[in-house]
Structure 1
């Protein structure tokens, strides 16, 4: 492994292996396609059949039920994709499989028929399962034994994530809203395909990194912990070497199957029942509907499984795992509210926000929009040229493909700006507001990073508390802005400043939480339980995703009975309440961690 890494580090860009930047651009195009498609989903599904850009005119509840299930499955399939890569394909081939399957998914969605639409979503879920866990595993393998450089590597990679999301939502959103939904869905697929090609053709630069297990020597047991991506940067701690083996028992497997099958039945039944009027659970148990009974059974089974597994460990390890469970609970509530960004907040941008600008205000916005678009693209293009200088002789065809993608991006950006400046006024696309999250992350991440590295670095409980409270403040601003909208109104013209400020506070909340999750799992959980607890962690995010869709789908019901301001007030009170609980529990969590930070 050391010789392999040495050759990878021979060719460097900005102090890191050139191979890292190949992964950077691969991730950028995958996030471009993923977020570019996702930002259009709720707009396409809820757009009127007779509108200028006709959609399917689904009720908002139905659209968000489907999006919630889709978002939830995206965090469950990586558990399977990671396992397949570890046992059979290797990381590199798994990434390629993921890219190809996602490209087919985007192509299917561009057809805009119900059958192809569902097929496209299914392929995107499967493709993400192969792609998501394995590209980060390649980085972890690349930096094996070089922990001091991991922080910078993941920071660079994270910039690729946000750059892709930024340009994907901007350009796919622009084409989808202004020229037809198929253009937006199709553009996402084109860049996914080009990203796949540039990655596959760059394979000589990776050496044995990400190769199939049959081609690699078995890692020594003491090296296993280093394979876990260390998102927050600190050392991975191997806990409680004296803990006896804790193998899964027959009851454990039964509980896993019951909770997994019950959860999946609910995920699929919810949109099917609402949209297609197909009920997979058409029975009752006492006063409980089939759906309620299955959800309750799955929840109880999972809790019994988790508690029984934790109870078998020594006291210190048990405490640390309980601390991870607290973090998982707060994560559910965070994502339940945060993921309104591509659901109810996009609906608010589309139907309740004044997006019309005239005169000097329109011109000022156009200039700001042009700077927001071109400055990041110039910076990323500069990185591209640096990569060309180091790798063109070795992976020339891959570089040519990558160059073509950037020519395409520049052409689309200039086309969009030309059209915007040609308009006498300016109508802001509803999808434009979603790019603010990526912009604020890129702008604010260095400041938060300095905070975490200072002597004022708060504990985990405090960070969760701050993140949830900031998230609640953002929704409080939206609730205040929407308070005068009449009960049951389906449209309004609220100032866009409320939505912009909401995204600002939500991003600050995300920056408080985003570094914590996988890092604390890797530090606090004993190696023999790492896989299980990573599954629990992704399950927490999946539950948050589905809860976001279920809660967001109540926007019309709550608006009709009370007001849309009341709807957003719920997302103000609940996260802030959970944030205060996290702060109050901070000393308890600190004690449970037994010195791990």
Structure 2
């Protein structure tokens, strides 16, 4: 593929390939290990997610848990929020205690255990399994991505292409999972479908352990280890965190008139909204952050807000779009009857087709336009996808929508995703202060956490609203945020370049270096 035709220069960091060593499409072979590990981990995650809403809302007679539709939609969204909130824990442990390498391994083991629990009938086993998958993903997800960044020096121009290749691994796994899990679910029920996800995670662990030597030193170090003097402050911080969780749950209980699944959803939503505000403030004010790094943190804030609204729409693939596929779509596609899980494969299929073209385009244009403008384009596409769906519903006037029209929603979102998501991953590794490297990647994953928390509140608040109103107004809000970001983009770019200039002057007293963003 054109996107993989990068040159064979060694990476200019400590973990890249030596000059005479074979490479992975022109990249360090450690990228192959992370590519295959993440591919199978995402296979397990998206396989489980493809049937989770249906399992929660189906009747007990059919093997489901019998939740009402609004609660099921909100719960799946808040499950996604929980996964990404826990990336804070995973990033912190990697930065301060165990390093990214071991965090990925431990997270994979916990995920595998969670999927095994989901294969056992019973509400207790199911909820425990969901909790295990969320915890394990919080350990694995930010750290496997940060290890990709560790394979390259800061000025290596292969970095963005590497994240795009890595992103293709994610989408190969998520492409095949809904097909296979959906077929097994139809054949043997929900728990049989969950067993496929368990097998996928086991394969991911095999690839990670077997390919560990190719990673060299990536993820081995603990960048900011805990010192003995910090122990009292860490204890206070841990107690404050527990207090924050308790307060959020109490507020959810108060808002819901008592403890219930709805109270849990509300409490997690409050945490998702508060966490990035706290984290960005902590990062900006930390004495371990250099003065030249602070403008990068400021520039990151509007990018984070835009990403939150993007993921608010994109992550509805597992909620409102899954419901639309099951209840409002003609499930005949190209003359073949498909199951509703099929549509969750359209996005990864589109990624696999389009990602090489985007990687080639970014390389040819030397990563132009700047990152902020790519975010504008990505968020605009996300908003347009929902406006498209609202228009389709109006035209169909109560009839089921043709399958291709729902597939188009995912294709439009894919165009936006390729402008925003791999670019955002790469930007995070570049904009993050050195002392918060892995934790900053966790901060990136707080954007989908907050976005899905918005969805959890939105689907409950708009229960009973028409589909046209829901999708139409959500799309308009996203486009409006994209317009605001467009006006802020010159300010963002100036801050990034100013920070790069300050760093260049501090390091060697030479000329200002051009910004990588």
TM-score tier after normalising by the smaller chain length = 0.7 to 0.9
Alignment of 1:464 with 2:475, yes or no, is no
Maintained 8 Å contact 2:372/2:493? yes
**1:294 to 1:54, Cα distance in 2 relative to 1, 3 A:** closer
Report the Cα offset of residue 335 of structure 1: 1.2
- Give yes or no for the alignment of 1:574 onto 2:477: yes
State whether structure 2 residue 343 is matched by structure 1 residue 343: no
What is the CA distance between 1:477 and its match in structure 2? Answer: 1.2
Matched, 1:442 2:352: yes
Do the aligned partners of residues 556 and 356 (structure 1) sit closer, same or farther apart at CA in structure 2, a change above 3 Å counting?
farther
TM-superposed CA distance for 1:498, in Å, is: 2.0
Query: 1:146, 1:69 → 2: CA distance?
Result: 38
> Taking structure 1 as reference, are residues 19 and 546 closer, same or farther at Cα in structure 2, changes over 3 Å only?
same
Work out which of the two has the higher radius of gyration on C-alpha atoms and give 1 or 2. Answer: 1
The offset of 1:342, in angstroms, is: 1.1
| Corresponding residue of 2:420 | 513
Tell me which residue corresponds to 2:301.
Answer: 325
Q: Would you identify which runs of 4 or more consecutive aligned residues in structure 1 move more than 6 Å? A: 1-4, 250-257, 271-276, 279-282, 290-297, 310-316
Query: How big is the shift at 1:164?
Result: 0.6
SS in 1 for 2:67: coil
Question: Partner of 1:25 in structure 2?
Answer: 36
CA contact (8 A) 2:163 2:426 kept: no
Matching residue of 1:564: 467
2:179 touches 2:345 (CA, 8 Å); kept in 1? yes
Q: Could you tell me how far apart the structure 2 residues matched to 1:275 and 1:63 are? A: 19
Q: For the Cα contact (< 8 Å) 2:386–2:474, is it kept in 1?
A: yes
Matches within 5 A, 1:312-461: 318-356=294-332, 361-362=334-335, 426-453=336-363, 454=365, 457-461=368-372
1:499 to 381, 390, 406: 406
User: In 2 relative to 1, CA 264–39 (structure 1 residues): closer, same or farther, beyond 3 Å?
Assistant: farther
Separation of aligned partners in 1, 2:374 and 2:70: 33
Which secondary structure does the structure 1 equivalent of 2:84 belong to?
coil
Contact persistence 2:142–2:438 (CA under 8 A) = no
- 2: CA distance, partners of 1:212 / 1:338: 34
The CA distance in 2 between the partners of 1:12 and 1:21, in whole Å, is 9
Cα separation, 1, equivalents of 2:269 and 2:315: 26
User: What does residue 21 of structure 2 align with?
Assistant: 10
The 3-state SS of whatever aligns with 1:515 is helix
Deviations 1:206-258 (A, max 9, x none): 56655576xxxxx8x9xx9xxxxxxxxxxxxxxxxxxxxxx99x999989975
User: Structure 1 residue 81: deviation in Å?
Assistant: 2.4
Indicate whether 1:74 and 2:83 are aligned: yes
Give the SS at the match of 2:464. Answer: helix
Q: Is the 8 A contact 2:81 2:448 kept in 1?
A: yes
Once the 2 structures are TM-superposed, how far is the Cα of residue 566 of structure 1 from its aligned partner? 1.1
**Where does the alignment leave 5 or more consecutive residues of structure 1 unmatched?**
214-218, 225-246, 283-289, 363-425
Secondary structure (helix, strand or coil) at the match of 2:422 reads coil
Tell me, in whole angstroms, the C-alpha distance in 1 between the residues paired with 2:272 and 2:207: 46
Displacement of 1:440 in angstroms is 1.1
Q: Given that residues 95 and 436 in structure 2 are in contact (C-alpha distance below 8 angstroms), is that contact kept between their aligned partners in structure 1? A: no
Confirm or deny that 1:35 pairs with 2:46.
yes
Aligned length: 483
Q: Report the CA distance between 1:42 and its aligned residue.
A: 0.9
Change (3 A) 1:431 1:292: closer
Q: 309, 328, 337: which one pairs with 2:285?
A: 309
Q: Which moved more, 1:179-188 or 1:134-143?
A: 134-143
